[in-house]
Amino acid sequence: MAEKQGFQRLLMRRDQLDCMRLDASDTVPEPGADEIVLRLDPFALTTNNITYAAFGAAMKYWDFFPVEASGWGQMPVWGYADVVASTVPSIGVSQRYFGYFPTATHLCVRPGKINQASFRDDMAHRRGLPDIYNWYQRTDQDPFHAAEIEPLHAIYRPLFITAYSLADFLHDKAGFGAQRFLISSASSKTAYATAWCLRQLGDRELIGLTSDRNLDFVAETGLYDQALSYSNLKEINASIPTLYIDVAGNPDLTRTVHETLGDRLVHDCTVGSAQSQRPPAAPVDLPGPRPSFFFAPDHIARRHQDWGVAEFNRRAGQATQGFYRYVARPVKPLLTITKIDGLAAAEKVISAMLTGRVDPREGHLINP
């Protein structure tokens, strides 16, 4: 039933993310009753995955793909996988799915709720975790799927859906009265996807805040009215009511933003933690509004209620296509995708990401 190739997974020390080890076995997982085994190819790596690991304990990201070795975990990733073995009558071998996986060659899941386009993994350990991570989308039933967009989709999908939801949330809240949005780690995919979505809604002036080395890239995205380096933040015109979209998650930067903008800072929306590998301590004596965490799955669940899942998927799918056209533009595309083989190569990419040594123009796909 199972294919002949072996099984491998990349384990990470939960308390020391740069400590990783490969775990290999000749035995590929076999499905039990009502289970299927998926073979990954490819999965994407971006800083978002590092944040899953960094917040692994606080937000239960380690709980999705637990391992028996104490103190170790599997960092969650997004990608594609083909069914290689199945004991579920309605799910056949070679069906292809997009979803949430561990850094491994294979994953065994137990499809509980199954419909034409997707299924939900109902393994006991995943119950009670945010539902959105437990669904797997069948590619041949997705009206927006095409083989040629798979690489972009693997990389951007979780980030774009956050960006889309965040822009929708801020638009719905009339930007909390801001005339201007300031976005940190503006070179990150989540940040510039948010900028793209805000532009579709005709929203406010956008300032992209970034490191000196990524300043040119942020300007080249064409999505910000201004690219501003962290070192020049104090030069910002502090008289304009501003909303801060914090993707960097750097407490020192947060303090500088709050102190510089003073009472002109109308809202601090914490989205990411690109520059930090641990959950931030609660800020003490921070002037201005208390940072408020934006968790995309919560907003998506709300929109599923408001619009229905199908309508949400239709709107988000259409927006996604427009965004992909923008990033894959023929002249100076925003992303160059590299596909590499093996989990040992994935370990190298993760190590580079942990130390911020990744060019924002690069997108990484791993064939484990």
The site for ligand NAP (CB under 6 A) is made up of: 46-48, 51, 158-159, 162, 185-190, 210-211, 214, 247-248, 271-275, 294-296, 353, 355-356, 360
Alpha helices per DSSP H over the chain: 47-54, 150-172, 189-200, 215-220, 251-261, 296-307, 309-327, 343-354
The nearer residue to ligand NAP, 92 or 356, going by C-beta atoms, is 356
The nearer residue to ligand NAP, 189 or 303, going by C-beta atoms, is 189
Beta carbon of residue 31, minimum distance to ligand NAP (angstroms, whole number): 31
The nearer residue to ligand NAP, 36 or 163, going by C-beta atoms, is 163
Could you tell me which of 166, 229, 227, 231 has the C-alpha nearest to residue 193? 166
Alpha helices per DSSP H over 248-307: 251-261, 296-307
Beta carbon of residue 207, minimum distance to ligand NAP (angstroms, whole number): 12
Q: CA–CA separation, 325 vs 174, rounded Å? A: 28
* 317, 294 contact by CB (below 8 A): no
The nearer residue to ligand NAP, 107 or 209, going by C-beta atoms, is 209
Q: How far is CA 137 from CA 184, 234, 321, in A?
A: 32, 45, 17
Beta carbon of residue 335, minimum distance to ligand NAP (angstroms, whole number): 9
Could you tell me which of 259, 265, 238, 247 has the C-alpha nearest to residue 178? 265
Beta carbon of residue 170, minimum distance to ligand NAP (angstroms, whole number): 13
Beta carbon of residue 52, minimum distance to ligand NAP (angstroms, whole number): 7
Beta carbon of residue 2, minimum distance to ligand NAP (angstroms, whole number): 33
Q: How many CA atoms lie within 13 A of 241 on its CB side?
A: 9
Could you tell me which of 126, 21, 107 has the C-alpha nearest to residue 350? 21
* Cα 156–chain centre separation: 7
Beta carbon of residue 92, minimum distance to ligand NAP (angstroms, whole number): 32
The nearer residue to ligand NAP, 7 or 295, going by C-beta atoms, is 295
The nearer residue to ligand NAP, 139 or 185, going by C-beta atoms, is 185
Q: CA–CA separation, 159 vs 16, rounded Å? A: 25
Residues 6+ apart with CB under 8 A from 213: none
The nearer residue to ligand NAP, 88 or 335, going by C-beta atoms, is 335
